[in-house]
Amino acid sequence: MTREPPISLEDAQARLLALAAPLPLERVDIDSALGRYLAEPLRARRTQPFAALSAMDGYAVGEGDLAGPWQIVGESAAGHPFAGRFARGQAIRISTGAVVPEDAAAVILQEDVGRAGDRLTLTGEPPFPAHKHIRPRGMDFSEGAEVLAAGVRIGPAQLALAISAGHAYIPVRRRPRVMVMDSGDELAADPEACGAHQIPASNGAMLAAMARSVSCDVQRIGPVPDTMDDLAAAFAQAEQADVIVTSGGASVGDHDLVRPALETWGARIGFWRVAIKPGKPILVATRETAGRRQIILGLPGNPVSSHVTAYLFMLPLLRALLGSGNPLPASMPMRLDAPLPANGGRRAFVRALWQDDGVTAQPQQDSSALASLAASNVLLDRAAHAPAAAAGEVIRGYWLENGGTA
């Protein structure tokens, strides 16, 4: 393969996402849809509210009848509407969420009236405007209206909205089948039985957890030794995977065999090396098999590089396969609590902690330092050759869901 200059982040992301056709559609029960993306627009099968409802506890009275006194002639409770009619000078007791009778035009709060038996008098202020405490029919949505667009992620609020709109099943994309593999002779599978010349194999677990966070079915393989035969045997287990994610072995060292092993397996290299730090030696390849496309991401072996490239490439790819309308992470402005030095010749993603209303970069930025990654909740985006930034300046950054104090 000809060694070309590293490409930009935006170019690399665009080329990767161009490979990602959404997976086949399936309909799942609403509880199983949490965390997935809507495959088609969702339209309401009912109107919400189904009738005019009271927004407060109080008393319903008629049009132009806000001064009182009134005679109480019945009650409307949630799920038990008032069945009769009432005339001027009459009122009904009404609860929050109860149907407002057609004859009623206002709800007077219970704290604004005095009651003696079935007699009611105004002691406070009448509502202004008169319908202030009434939720009109269709206030939230009407039957036939689009309540959720295709590509929307189903979170708790979207789940509740779909149910309220009358849906027990919704259309989503099939979960991607992801195989995560870490490789390297220095890796120990058991962190409690790690030799002096080894390091625990943490990348596979980290990447698998990230893939599961976006509702994928994940298989882990490894750690795989640095031999062509072992890598070939590992890739042979990935025939059914939609996405194969490797960690380590994709650089240029004598023992970095992932790229030649992929080519031997029948994969075609799309691009290799992106002009970012950490994470320059990322590899993207495809393999056409049985009428479908497998996408391979070769991520760096250093754990922070692996995490950053998974955040910038693996997660957007998986979201796109799931049908997300906005698969790329969104940046946001962040105010610096401490100065940042000038950046070098590659675009850098700086681990930092956002707390209160400002961010502070971690003192340790080595690509092998997991402790500073685990202590961070944002990545600061620093352009190549960016000048030093003073405390108080605002720069762009990305939110990491790493836990911590935020």
Query: Would you state the pLDDT for residue 254?
Result: 45
At 1 the pLDDT is: 45
Residue 253 is predicted with a pLDDT of 47
What was the pLDDT predicted at 246? 94
What is the separation of C-alpha 92 from the centre of its chain, rounded to a whole number of angstroms?
Answer: 46
pTM of the model as a whole? 0.88
d(CA 38, CA 143): 19
pLDDT for the residue numbered 103: 86
Residue 251: the pLDDT is 57
Helices (H), 279-356: 303-309, 315-322
Residue 191 has pLDDT above 50, yes or no: yes
350: Cα separation from own chain's centroid? 22
- Residue 54: which pLDDT band, with cuts at 50, 70 and 90? very high
Give the N- to C-terminal CA distance of the chain in Å, as an integer: 44
CA distance 53 to 101: 9
CA 316 to chain centre: 10
Q: Is 207 helix (H, G, I), strand (E, B) or coil?
A: helix
66-79 confidence digits (pLDDT tens): 888 999 999 999 99
pLDDT tens across 343-390, in order? 999 999 999 999 988 999 999 998 888 999 999 999 999 999 999 999
Token pair of 202 as six digits: 């943490």
Task: Taking residues 159-176, report their average pLDDT.
Answer: 96
Whether residue 170 has pLDDT greater than 80: yes
pLDDT, one tens digit per residue, over 135-155 is 999 999 999 999 999 999 999
Residue 403 pLDDT exceeds 50: no
Q: How confident is the model at residue 188 (pLDDT cuts 50, 70, 90)?
A: confident
What band does 310 get if pLDDT is binned at 50, 70 and 90? very high
pLDDT at position 194: 83
380, 382, 378, 367: which is closest to 404 by C-alpha? 378
pLDDT, mean of residues 82-110: 91
Write down all domains in the chain, each with its CATH number in brackets: 9-24+174-322 (3.40.980.10), 27-48+140-173 (3.90.105.10), 53-135 (2.170.190.11), 331-399 (2.40.340.10)
Residues 132-137: what's their mean pLDDT? 94
How confident is the model over 61-67, as a mean pLDDT?
86
Q: Give the range among 184-193, 253-262, 288-297 with minimum mean pLDDT.
A: 253-262
